[in-house]
Structure 1
């Protein structure tokens, strides 16, 4: 476990939307061994699309992430690199920020404060 969940067990909530410049997946609740397949399923739909320039994963409402969840984020990074899709994480704060820093993944992922920042940053090369 990377950090402890709150008192109430939440499931992963994922909302997918398509913008002209990116696909945005907003994650909420818990990204753990039980819910990581849900994220993998959403990402599978993204990888099936052609011409996706960027993928934004908004973690603002994510309250918990274990190693399985972190592994799914790394898998998304690797798949995005292999497909030439720019991956941006947004809403990374608190324990999630700390975990990314401790694991060295903070330097791997492109991270922006908000989805709006990510969308404006997509106009610039990474």
Structure 2
């Protein structure tokens, strides 16, 4: 699997290409972890709310200026997903939610087979699925 990352209107979009399975799930976990960590490093502490942020380590990819991760997994080019892949999607959701307060994960453009898997497993009740990218993640929360 190949993942490309880009900021887009307040979102960090991870484009997934290929197959999400046992062999590739750690790649997704690593990328989501990098987004969550980089966002946490950029978020101001309560006493530093008005001060500019200084980070000794910049992320491997650009991030929008948000205090909370607003992550999109663009699944349009994901051609296969097995149970390990579903587990990785759940793990991505947990990584983002674990950071607390208003964080968002959006699954964009899942192919019909994956959308059906999300429905029959009940994951569609927990994971936000969309056919288009909302312009502002703050309005989506």
Please state which band the TM-score falls in when normalised by the shorter chain: 0.7 to 0.9
Deviation at 1:13, TM superposition (A): 1.4
TM score, norm. by length of structure 2: 0.73
For the Cα contact (< 8 Å) 2:134–2:140, is it kept in 1?
no
User: For structure 2, which runs of at least 5 residues remain unmatched after alignment?
Assistant: 41-66
Q: How many residues align?
A: 112
2:116 to 98, 101, 111: 98
Counterpart contact for 2:9–2:136, Cα < 8 Å: no
Q: Aligned to 2:135, which of 117, 120, 125?
A: 120
Larger RCO of the pair (alpha carbons < 8 Å, separation 6+): 2
Give the equivalent residue in structure 1 for 2:45: none
CA RMSD, aligned part only?
Answer: 1.6
Instruction: Give 1:93 deviation, angstroms.
Output: 2.5
1:40-51 matches, cutoff 5 A: 40-49=29-38, 50=40, 51=67
* 1:19 corresponding residue in structure 2: 8
- Runs of at least 5 residues in structure 1 that lack an aligned partner in the other structure: 1-11
Deviation, 1:20, is 4.9
